[in-house]
Structure 1
Amino acid sequence: MSVQNDPPASLAAIPAGYADWLAELKGRIHIAQQRASLAVNRELVALYWQIGRDILERQAEQGWGAKVIDRLAHDLRTAFPEMKGFSRANLMYMRAFAEAWPDEAIVQQAVGQLPWGHNLVLLTRLKNPAMRLAYAGRAIQHGWSRNVLNIHIETRLLERSGKAVTNFDERLPAPHSDLARESLKDPYRLDFLGVGQEADERAIESAIVQHITRFLLELGAGFAYVGRQVHIEVGGDDFFIDLLFYHLKLRCYVVVELKAGAFKPEHTGQLGFYLAAVDSQMKAEQDNPTIGILLCKSQNRVVAEYALRDSNKPIGVAEYQLVAALPQELQTSLPSIEQIEKELGETAE
């Protein structure tokens, strides 16, 4: 026989305004929980940095060898058996973390806002401090999970962002043009589609729809999928847009046209026609002008720049890659991510 936890009769009647007040309280509690979690994370990252700095200083000043880390790991795990993170591998990461970020202010203001696992990804996947900081900033801004951060580093997201040939500076007002330009990249990595180099436009388009979540991740933050082969009628004739998106930050529609070959100047005319039709038939009064992205198998950047000069519509031209090996991971003398995850998951004996 089950027992139901019904509210007392005296609490059954809900007074006016109670529901709104309860919702507000729940919101406050959730915010407090998030702040508490962030505070704990900042303290943990700061502690790890301080331990790493101390190891560096003592090794430099007193000539301690690497074996001291083995002893320290044993002593800390003995003293704090309920805490994870004091393995030899993680202590080595702490040392490398402090060495990578000698300025404590950066730890407090930037990377300290990220979980330790995110910092391990930055530490092991990137060597350049500026790129580490740039990816850390994007991860904080967009709330990337560790897996998403890994994907963006492996596909060189920031190195490709803003590289497409566009006429946005001439066709869009600032700062809208700057944001639009940074929203495009070159090339677009579509190797996750699983199609061969000779795939035609329809096959690529079908694969994109089947992998729309991954494609949205490749497009970047702000893109929302509207449809495929979107029908528009102009002068009694039917036309179909390959892929249509809406960008939440740019507040505009984005038309994506696929070309399974090299870029040709006449492609901009067709895309410009689609942009005009969307602006006329779909764009709301508060929306910004529709922008277009031409994804081609290859392009001559000089030809693309010339073609866009006389186009009165905002268009970007970029290449796509259907088959591309992931960049070789940067090698370090430190343990791998897999090793540290395994050790962090083990309880101290």
Structure 2
Amino acid sequence: MKNSGPPSLTDVPTGYADWLTELKLRVHAARQRAATAVNHELVCLYWQIGRDILARQAKQGWGARVIERLAHDLRTAFPEMKGFSRANLMYMRAFAEAWPDGEIVQQGVGHLPWGHNLVLLTKLKTAQLRLAYAQRAIEQGWSRNALNIHIETRLLEREGKAVSNFSTRLPAPRSDLALQAIKDPYVFDFLGIGQEAGEREIEAALVEHISRFLLELGAGFAYVGRQVPIEVGGDDFFIDLLFYHLKLHCYVVIELKAGAFKPEHTGQLSFYLTAVDAQLKSDQDASTIGLLLCKTKNRVVAEYALRDSNKPIGIAEYQLVESLPKELQTNLPTIEQIEQELERYQKNGEDA
């Protein structure tokens, strides 16, 4: 019998399209939950294997060669799984050693994919930092690449470090949220421009790499425009960069200075904040916040400059070149090395 195919659009009853859309969303959500559950079980399994390896090596004196034998036997027993290489078993051991408390694995890092946990293990040395980045990755849904970037640029270590007057110019708890929304320094190493780049060159590069710029700014920032025109009393002024913060519900004016911070910079930025509040801010928006980015700053001078300012302003430095500090690196093999090993095994089944 010939397949007549799906019925024509004229045969679809009223409301079917909306129902189908809703069903698709349900299916997608269910698949996501299933994938998350499978991932959680896999990570917990890896932790249990790592814990057993640690315990048996400690109690029975098993050496490293046992892991090679275990890798071979597990791959033989489960040929369809590619997670039982020697390198990955070593990661399981390191994972269990890093998180001796199974409660953390069940409730915290166990909700991150294994690849994320490898980033935490290879990039960070302390449990405190690993847990802090793990929690933020879960909260904000970071991809593995985003987690890697944030660790390499020391995102959490820089948050809340900028000089600001938020505590006296903004009500609590908004002042705390605003302080956590900015950092010091900002790292713009992704721009690929020299240390002597001027303000306009940096602005143009930031807009050109707006996705990375937003990643560096952090969650909540939405890009509005560059060199945004503001007319005041018949004179034209231009705001370097204008953003809107979705969590703070306010505009954020960012001004770039290619040199050292000077007290007069806050006067110019305060003027722009007043203009934005008067011309762009709606009744539903909170007061506009200013962020002054400069190449260098004297912290004491910056604090003095903000002391009598009646506008909420943060002052931070930016860096055009940054590298991963040696103290953040561990002696474990890199993720790239383990992935290459897994790929080799998948292709030819040989022991790594």
TM-score range, shorter chain: over 0.9
Q: Distance in 1 between matches of 2:257 and 2:171?
A: 28
Question: RMSD of the alignment, in Å?
Answer: 1.6
Choose the corresponding residue for 2:47, options 1, 24, 49. 49
* Aligned positions of 1:33-44 closer than 5 A: 33-44=31-42
* Aligned positions of 1:168-317 closer than 5 A: 168-317=166-315
Q: Distance in 1 between matches of 2:101 and 2:4?
A: 55
1:253, CA displacement in angstroms? Answer: 0.6
- Aligned residue number for residue 74 of structure 1: 72
- Aligned residue number for residue 322 of structure 1: 320
Q: Distance in 2 between matches of 1:5 and 1:277?
A: 65
1:26, CA displacement in angstroms? Answer: 1.4
Aligned pair count reads 346
- Tell me which amino acid in the other structure corresponds to 1:71: R
SS of 2:160's partner is coil
- Tell me which amino acid in the other structure corresponds to 2:258: A
Q: Does 1:116 find its partner at 2:114? A: yes
Consecutive unaligned residues of structure 2, counting only runs of 5 or more, are none
| Kept after mapping to 2: 8 A contact 1:155/1:327 | no
Overall identity of the aligned pairs, in %:
77
Choose the corresponding residue for 1:148, options 134, 146, 155. 146
| Kept after mapping to 2: 8 A contact 1:125/1:329 | no
- Aligned residue number for residue 32 of structure 1: 30
- Aligned residue number for residue 157 of structure 2: 159
- Tell me which amino acid in the other structure corresponds to 2:336: E
Structure 1 stretch displaced more, 189-198 or 217-226: 189-198
Q: TM-score, normalised by structure 1?
A: 0.95
Q: Distance in 2 between matches of 1:340 and 1:331?
A: 16
Q: TM-score, normalised by structure 2?
A: 0.95
Consecutive unaligned residues of structure 1, counting only runs of 5 or more, are none
Q: Distance in 1 between matches of 2:155 and 2:59?
A: 40
Q: Distance in 2 between matches of 1:119 and 1:30?
A: 25
SS of 1:83's partner is coil
Change in 2 beyond 3 A, CA 1:250/1:124: same
- Aligned residue number for residue 86 of structure 2: 88
Following TM superposition, the consecutive aligned residue runs of length 4 or more in structure 1 with deviations greater than 4 angstroms are none
**1:14-33 per-position Cα deviation (integer Å, ceiling 9, x unaligned):** 22222222222111111110
1:324, CA displacement in angstroms? Answer: 3.0
1:5, CA displacement in angstroms? Answer: 6.9
| Kept after mapping to 2: 8 A contact 1:193/1:211 | yes
SS of 1:268's partner is helix
